[in-house]
Structure 1
Amino acid sequence: MWFSKSQEEVIKEFNVDPSVGLSKEEAAKRLEQYGMNKLKGKPKKSILSLFFSQLNDMLIYVLLGAAAITIAIGEYSDAIIILLVVVLNAVIGVVQEAKAEKAVEALQKMTTPKSLVRRDGEVIEINSEEVVPGDLIILDAGRFIPADIRLIESANLQIEESALTGESVPTNKDASAIHSDPNTSLGDKTNMAFMSTLVTYGRGEGIVVATAMDTEIGKIAKILDDDTNEMTPLQKRLDELGRILGFLAIGICVLIFVIALIQKRDILEMFLTAISLAVAAIPEGLAAIVAIVLALGVTRMSKINAIVKKLPAVETLGSVNIICSDKTGTLTQNKMTVTKHYTYGSLTDVSQSAENLSGTNNEKELIKTLVLCSDATYENGQGTGDPTEIALIVLGNKYNLTKDALNKEHKRVSEFPFDSDRKLMSTLNIEGKGYRVNTKGAIDNLLQICNTVLVEGNIVPLTDDIKQKFLKVTEEMSDSALRVLGAAYKDTEEIIEPGEMEKDLTLVGLVGMIDPPRLEVKDSIREAKNAGIIPIMITGDHKNTAVAIAKELDIAESIDQSITGTEIDQMSDEEFSRRINDYRVFARVSPEHKVKIVRAFKAQGNIVSMTGDGVNDAPSLKYADIGVAMGITGTDVAKGASDMILTDDNFTTIVHAIEEGRNIYNNIKKAVIFLLSCNLGEVIAIFLSILLNWPVPLLATHLLWINLITDSLPAISLGVDPGDHDVMKYKPRNPKESFFARGAGVRAILGGTLIGLLTLTAFYYGLWEHNIPLGTTGIDLSNPNHQNALTYARTMAFVVLAASQLFYSLSMRNTTKSIFQVGLFKNKYLIGAIAVGLILQLAVISIPAFAKAFQVQNLSLQDWGIVFVFALVPLIVNEIIKIFMHMSEKNKHVEY
């Protein structure tokens, strides 16, 4: 019961010095002793269970039933082929699911929350899974608690514990409290912090007392075992499409069966044909193919610094037409540097390489105040904390006013942390025999709480004339794209409450700093605009600063395209929504304004991507269509609320992710349209032959074999087709757009019809070559010559159907570009899939054992040429259509 023990007892029990923390050696020893700090998940499915789950499908049951019937009547070769197809389909499904699972596991490892720990006297960031009992954890706003912790220090610390207590209001924490009652409830243990809860305010330090399954959340970890693998919207749409096609196919098969009965055909043969046609007509591989393409896609995106947490985000990315981006760190380098500082009557330039500067007394007081009122650190060229505060520490180093030296002389005893509403931060430090409040923040907010000003070492009243001079310098700095930060102080004889700190202050001066734009961002913004995407800048900075950077990056053209948070508050929701498209820069905004901005853009029918990094950004990240968290500066809560995490905090990565998302969606669409074309071709070939009272051109085993080849390798190969950079030359896709829009449905029908008719043509040609009349009455199956002719004709149909589908896949890579424009050998997987398919087809016909099982025979050299000419026709026709489509596209700008 750690909550009933004093801080000293806990420190002694874990044998740790809070100022040093554990050594790396001791941490490694304890990690081996206690294990990784992670909750036990549900056990992974075995390969065998994955295999049997692939068989849990109505169509598979039908196939197994057909196999049982063929065994019962002695058709063992047909039964073996049917079972082989079932097993191969299941194996492919297992491989795909295993790949998808591995991809998701890899992404989960990349999104593991981080923790700040003190080890060997240094504060370092580690994966939360590596936290061990006895570790000294540093807590600040926006971080998830990595384990159960006994607090040893707290400053205005508030933790949201709804994950454990159900109470959404944050709990105030007090490290000095001791609870002697052993029945103290979790919500009342104010000296404890628990795993998976969230720091919402203040800061603190604590010692880890329990990890993994020993934590309070570990005791209720069973709730994490729920198996909720949600399908993406696209998968649901395709699943619905599959069901519709299934009903249509079954209807057609029943009709075929009835016609066959009327025509007095062989019942068993037609039964097997009807079943196999039903399976061939339904693209049962769609869901698996979509899953594997999405999983491989997000793995590929992680390599370009975009970690997609939720698969539906990949689909949504292709529709984004508004990117709302933070300025600092995302559009800029996040390396703030103070270039100017101002005390009354004195404006000084500070070069980036300056060292050992002297400075006036007023300037030293300004820098001293700014350094003391900072939580950042900067040592050996590396800083931790807010970039703005790091810039202030670096400025202090230039004037030999280092943070370590000042902190030792002026120890901090209290603080009033920064928040986005006040736009101020204050600390209370020892100053001589008394105390001094050091405050920094937005100059306009400071002017409201200051009544005196430091002038040449003297404190004088802050007049309106002096205020105007400060505001004029602020505006001049802002016009130069500098971020302006003011500083003020007041002396007091006693410790005062945080709420009393920011009253009756003395204004000292202000500093101007700049965060230069990222070099690559301007090109990315141009690319985004060409793709029909509007980039929007959102920042807490001064309006003029924001507009100056926005102009440099071509986001905005004039200050008229900007608006501040105060101006937003003066508008009604209706008016703001109506005028939202007039703005490109939103300055001086709070996190609450972000939600309002997203709502307004969405109300105009836009698909919005929003970036964020803070605790209060969570609502806007959740409300946006794509919430994007910063991987470097982002808090754990922002990452938890987001759909995507940028590991480099770079705007360019968002644009690359959108391009990748568009390509992934297009690849899925290619695979689907290809599968539907192939399946339609099979249905047409069988259905027309029945209607025309011809012999069936393909046996059940032929259809099953072809279905296996065309439903797996070529479709998956299309799903991983190399990205086409030209997708960024078109406007975003409308998310409500039908899957068969922009001629996709017509292409599927045209391709399927061509494949089906050419298959029948090959069959007809084979019979004609052997002088066999059309119609079942003209074929005598007891006549060896007739039997041989029918087998030969079916072989030709079999080859044409398989080869035409394989060749046709080449044409599916792009709707308007020819196979030579996209690069014939650029998709090596597809070339390999076609080669493997053709080799397997040749083997089935050429190897006697296989030929006997499939009831086919080898063709003459001339007929091999003829069937391959037939097989190339759908590819050639589609390529000719592309020429006309490409010509028409030159005259108009088509949405992608």
Structure 2
Amino acid sequence: MTIIYWNQEYKDVEEYLKTDIIKGLSNEEAQKRLREYGYNQLKEQNKKSLFLMFLDQFKDFMVLILLAATIISLLLGEVTDAVIMIVVVVLNGILGMLQENRAEKSLEALKKLTSPTARVIRSGRVVDIPTSQLVPGDIVYLEAGNFVPADGRLFEATNLRIDESALTGESVPVDKDIKALKAEELPLGDRINMAYMGTVVAYGRGRMIVTDTGMNTEMGKIAEFIDSQDTAATPLQRRLEELGKYLGVGVLLICFIIFITGILSRRPVFDMFMTAVSLAVAAIPEGLPAIVTITLAIGVQKMIKKKAIIRKLPAVETLGSASVICTDKTGTLTQNRMTVMKLYTNDKVYSDINAIFKSEGSTDNEVKFLLECAALCTDAFIDEDGREIGDPTEVAIVMAAKSAGIRKQDIEEAKPRVDEVPFDSDRKMMTTVHRDEKGYKVITKGAPDNVIDRCTSLYLNGDILPLDDSIKEKIKAVNEEMAKGALRVLAVAYKDLDDIGSHGEFECDLTFIGLIGMIDPPREEVKESVRLCKKAGIKPVMITGDHLVTAVAIGKELGIYKAGDEAVTGVQLNELTDEELDKQVKDISVYARVSPEHKVRIVKAWQNNGAVVAMTGDGVNDAPALKQADIGAAMGMTGTDVAKGAADMILTDDNFATIVSAVQEGRTIYENIRKSIHFLLSCNVGEIVVIFVAVMLGMPMPLKPIHILWINLLTDSFPALALGVEPPAPDVMDKKPRPKGESIFAHGLWWKITLQGILIGLLTLVAFRLGLMKKNLITARTMAFSTLVLTQLFQALNVRAEASLLKIGVFSNRYMTYSIILSAVLMFIVILTPLRTYFGVSVLNATDWGIVFILSLSILIITEVIKYFKKP
């Protein structure tokens, strides 16, 4: 029997689903239901099998031309050429299939890492689990910023409003309630006691009993869900696809000219046709998009290890252009852990907390008394599992007391709390009353000025002395000095009572004990990251809701704020027009007391100045700024689901240093893609030069069609992939950010490709000519084939870096070493095995190999000499 969940009291739903809203499901029952109902996820499109991936490789236009040429070869009786071409095409298909499969697996692993979690009760404990493991009957917590992970019946709703626009199209969040609804048929938008998968908690909090999961949810029924993984092509990939089309037209034109010229020169029609087809296939870098995808995917995997999860592939490319990083302070630049840094008691300021208890004398007693009283006047505590529970400021006090050997549990047992006056914003104080052996002890902590004004005496060296105005002013001066150092300062005072009396008697005639100064300290690694940013031409900007004094102090310590910089508050920001902000934004390093709405203005102002902006955020209201930024970075630990959903990447450790590492990796990936393009296109130009010059000069063909295909479809692929994993250049963070929209061929890359390609072609022709002068045509072709292969392998070493190969290390990229060995082995397999008969090559003697090696090596030597004279 099924029931209509919104029509029932939640107690009836609880009973129907055999669960417990207090204890939740047991772990055993949850596993049983998971097997019964399946995972809480929507069905995805069927993944392509390896066989289909293999077949997809034959959809490429140039491969189809090659297959057509193979068929023509068979019809003309050239069986050997046809068989070899089929083998080469199949091997190329296998390589393409493996590349595509690896890229898909990388993206799938990425998707799993970014899958959201849900907070549930299992076996009486609150735990976070992947949403895919939710089952009917689970008790789920809902908080502002969460995606609702499944369909459920609400049984607790505190100011709960849910944005159901993804499901109903209604843009206004729906106020939720827990009462049963009488109607048996209601539109989704009117079921106010239900929460549905894929909707967003806009405000408040609540709890629900999961009623449906996966394809049984309302979202599953209409098969609409916003996929959190964007696998769209990056701008670079799209530009390269366009480049491929233009190159294709140009190369086909050149091949047509070669074909016609060859025919007019009375060369065999079939030979010229096969040469033109082979050259067209070789010269068009059809493998380039696959290599770019693999390079991006590998880079994404590296970033995961560095605590940055890339959700949207275009972000990898954009990261390399980042020129401004706008970052939160708390938790990103700082440790998100309030820590006691200074104490003032007994007329002395203690700056080194760890050293306090090493000193001798009565000082220890005063400090311990201060920390004991402060710890008693908190609601924070450390639970049995060592977790710190409570307000961060109070947790800092409890931890400082613990470092002094004071366990809160022990002092609370000795001096139990019997009454209290809670903190409020008017008094800015909190007071607790404790029973002790002498009667009752009243302890007050709060804003220094407020507490000091209620004190009439001073605790000094174990005695209670009168507190006159001059001493009060001295204490207030110490407070101001601490505050200037960005410390949050609390004053602590007490008094003893024989009887409790009324609340009005608690906070008067107090005895001042001391001041406690605390701060959320900067992360140790951030200072170096800020220095690295500035060295790389990236401006770090702090945006915080904290006070201006605190923000500036932290900014100075980290190097974000320097002399001449400006720091503004949200109020000041409101007074600026957008045009005024555009003009001033470059001078502002710190923003304090700002709201999430201000962040969007700041990002736009930088973008209006041509900057590529990275922005961090964690709250629901940060989503617009994260979307507006060129790179939105959500916090993995403290970020809401909405913030993560709007972000391009997620920082799993909420650390500023991670953003900088990601920028470095983004720059490296882009440079590696440039290297792969440089290598492939220069090799292609070289092959065109060889054939074009030979045809125009009436020379015999230096290379057979099968030689060209073998080199391009197999030999070149491995070094090109190895360039994609080249380690970061030592100076990668010494350069200014790449301008937005800069061509991949900027900084003279076209010239390098053209000139080095011509050199590769000429060296191959020289080897061929020398072979013709001394030997026969087969030997000459073997020398040309070997020279072309080895020259291209040395060219792969050339493009590894702008610096000398000796400086970066010949073997510093082990994948390049392996790829060169593999490519050389493929060459020797053709020459030294019976395959040479089918390829039309022969075994070379030592002299011939010497000529081949010297000619091939010369491209490396020439390039190294040029690099030497070009160095600064």
TM-score range, shorter chain: 0.7 to 0.9
1:545 is displaced (CA, Å) by: 0.5
CA contact (8 A) 1:378 1:394 kept: no
Residue by residue over 1:822-847, the C-alpha shift from the partner in whole angstroms, topping out at 9 and shown as x without a partner, is 11111111111111211221221222
Q: 1:540 aligns with which of 538, 542, 545?
A: 545
Q: Which residue of the partner structure matches residue 282 of structure 2?
A: 280
Cα 1:456–1:12, aligned 2, differ >3 Å: closer, same or farther?
farther
Determine which of 313, 328, 331 is the counterpart of 1:329: 331
Aligned counterpart, 1:121? 124
SS in 2 for 1:36: coil
Q: Any conservation in 1 of the 2:244–2:284 contact (CA below 8 Å)?
A: yes
Question: What are the equivalent positions in structure 2 for 1:101-112 lying under 5 Å apart?
Answer: 101-112=104-115
Contact 2:111/2:229 (<8 A) preserved: no
Cα separation, 1, equivalents of 2:218 and 2:428: 34
Structure 1 equivalent of residue 571 of structure 2: 566
1:298 paired residue among 300, 307, 322: 300
Answer whether contact 1:42 1:225 (CA < 8 A) is retained: no
Q: 1:695 aligns with which of 688, 694, 700?
A: 700
Question: Among residues 861, 874, 890, which one is paired with 2:859 in the alignment?
Answer: 874
The 5 Å alignment of 1:110-189 reads 110-175=113-178, 177-189=179-191
Determine the structure 2 residue equivalent to 1:853: 838
Contact 2:715 2:826 (C-alpha < 8 Å) held by counterparts: no
Question: What is the CA distance between 1:339 and its match in structure 2?
Answer: 6.3
Structural mapping, 1:247-396, within 5 Å: 247-337=249-339, 367=377, 371=379, 380-383=385-388, 387=392, 391=396
**Gap change, CA 1:243 and 1:560, over 3 Å in 2:** closer
Selected match of 2:677 from 672, 680, 683: 672
Q: Which amino acid aligns with 2:805?
A: I
Please report how far the alpha carbon of residue 17 of structure 1 lies from its aligned counterpart in structure 2 after TM superposition. Answer: 2.9
Q: Within 1, Cα distance between the matches of 2:830 and 2:768? A: 18
Alpha carbons 1:378, 1:393 under 8 Å: kept: no
CA distance in 2, matches of 1:263, 1:636: 70
- Partner residue of 2:620? 615
The answer as to whether partners of 1:378 and 1:390 remain within 8 angstroms in 2 is no
* 1:884 alignment counterpart: 869
Deviations 1:694-726 (A, max 9, x none): 122111111101112343111001111122232
Aligned mates of 1:97, 1:793 — CA distance in 2? 38
Among residues 2, 6, 24, which one is paired with 2:5 in the alignment? 2
| TM-aligned CA deviation for residue 409 of structure 1 | 9.8
Superposition deviation, residue 131 in structure 1: 1.8
Aligned to 1:31: 34
**Structure 1 Cα separation of the partners of residues 427 and 801 of structure 2:** 55
The aligned counterpart of 2:640 is 635
Question: What is the DSSP-based 3-state SS (H/G/I as helix, E as strand, rest coil) of the residue aligned with 1:639?
Answer: helix
1:471-523 superposed Cα distances (whole Å, 9 cap, x missing partner)? 99986554221247999xxxxxxxxxxxxxxxxxx9x9998641111111111
Per-residue CA deviations over 1:354-404 (Å, capped at 9, x if unaligned) read 999888999899x56xx4xx9x996533146875675588799989699x9
Closer, same or farther in 2 for the Cα pair 1:391/1:187, shift >3 Å? Answer: farther
Residue 812 of structure 2 corresponds to residue 826 of structure 1: yes
The DSSP-based 3-state class of the residue aligned with 1:703 is helix
**Partners of 2:52 and 2:870 in 1: CA distance:** 48
TM-fit CA distance, 1:299: 0.6
2:794 is the counterpart of 1:807: yes
Provide the residue aligned with 2:783 in structure 1: 796
Identity %: 49
Residue pair 2:533, 2:660 contacting (<8 A) in 1 also: yes
1:760 matches 2:765: yes
Letter paired with 1:842: F
Aligned AA for 1:253? C
Q: Return closer, same or farther for 1:530/1:227 CA change in 2, 3 Å cut-off.
A: closer
* Distance verdict in 2 for CA 1:752–1:710, change over 3 Å: farther
Deviation (angstroms), 1:10 = 1.8
Q: Determine whether 1:651 maps to 2:656.
A: yes
**Pair 1:838-2:824 in alignment:** yes
Q: 1:360 to 1:36 in 2, by over 3 A?
A: closer
Superposed CA deviations along residues 551-591 of structure 1, whole A, max 9, x for unmatched, are 11111125952111111001111111101111111111110
Q: Does the 8 Å contact 1:629/1:642 carry over to 2?
A: yes
Greater Cα shift, 716-725 or 234-243: 716-725
Query: Is 1:45 matched up with 2:34?
Result: no
CA positional deviation for 1:227? 12
Query: 1:61/1:99 Cα in 2 relative to 1: closer, same or farther (>3 Å)?
Result: same
**Partner amino acid for 1:592?**
E
The aligned counterpart of 2:467 is none
Letter in 2 for 1:307: I
Asked if structure 2 preserves the Cα contact closer than 8 Å seen for 1:675 and 1:710, the reply is: no
Could you state the TM-score of these two structures normalised by the residue count of structure 1?
A: 0.83
Equivalent-residue separation in structure 2 for 1:641 and 1:51 (angstroms): 35
- Structure 1 counterpart of 2:21: 18
Structure 1 runs not aligned, ≥5 long = 417-421, 428-441, 458-467, 488-505, 771-788, 891-896
Query: For the residues of structure 1 that align with 2:138 and 2:419, how far apart are their CA atoms?
Result: 28
Determine helix, strand or coil for the equivalent of 1:253: helix
Unpaired stretches in structure 2, ≥5 consecutive residues: 358-363, 431-445, 457-472, 493-507
Using a 3 Å threshold, how does the CA distance of structure 1 residues 341 and 831 change in structure 2: closer, same or farther? Answer: closer
**1:478, 1:542 within 8 Å by CA — same for their partners in 2?**
no
Contact 1:362 1:456 (8 Å CA) reproduced: no
Most deviating of 16-25 and 297-306 = 16-25
Question: Cα 1:119–1:718, aligned 2, differ >3 Å: closer, same or farther?
Answer: same
Cα separation, 1, equivalents of 2:393 and 2:279: 67
Match of 2:533 among 521, 528, 532: 528
Distance 1:37 1:357, change over 3 A: farther
1:242 correspondence with 2:244? yes
Residue type of the alignment partner of 2:315: A
Contact 2:487 2:517 (8 Å CA) reproduced: yes
- Give CA-to-partner distance per residue, 1:323-378, whole Å, 9 cap, x none: 11111111111111366899xxxx9999799999888999899x56xx4xx9x996
Q: Is the 8 A contact 1:357 1:399 kept in 2?
A: no
Structure-1 residue corresponding to 2:502: none
Whether the 8 Å CA contact 1:483–1:542 is kept in 2: the answer is no
3-state SS of paired residue (1:64): helix
Please, which of 53, 66, 69 is the counterpart of residue 66 of structure 1?
Answer: 69
Structure-1 separation of matches of 2:482 and 2:9: 51
Per the alignment, in what secondary structure is the counterpart of residue 727 of structure 1? coil
Quick one: which of 217, 220, 224 aligns to 1:218? 220
1:105 and 1:642 map into 2 onto residues whose CA distance is: 18
Distance in 1, Cα, partners of 2:288 & 2:569 = 49
Task: State the shift of 1:855 in Å.
Answer: 1.1
Residues 377 and 208 of structure 1: CA distance in aligned 2, closer, same or farther (over 3 Å): farther
SS in 2 for 1:841: helix
In 2, distance between residues paired with 1:808 and 1:857? 25
- Number of matched residues? 809
Partner of residue 774, structure 2: 769
Hey, what's the Cα distance between the residues in 2 that align with 1:298 and 1:423? Answer: 51
| AA in 2 matched with 1:806 | L
Deviation at 1:34, TM superposition (A): 2.1
Over aligned residues, Cα RMSD in angstroms?
4.0
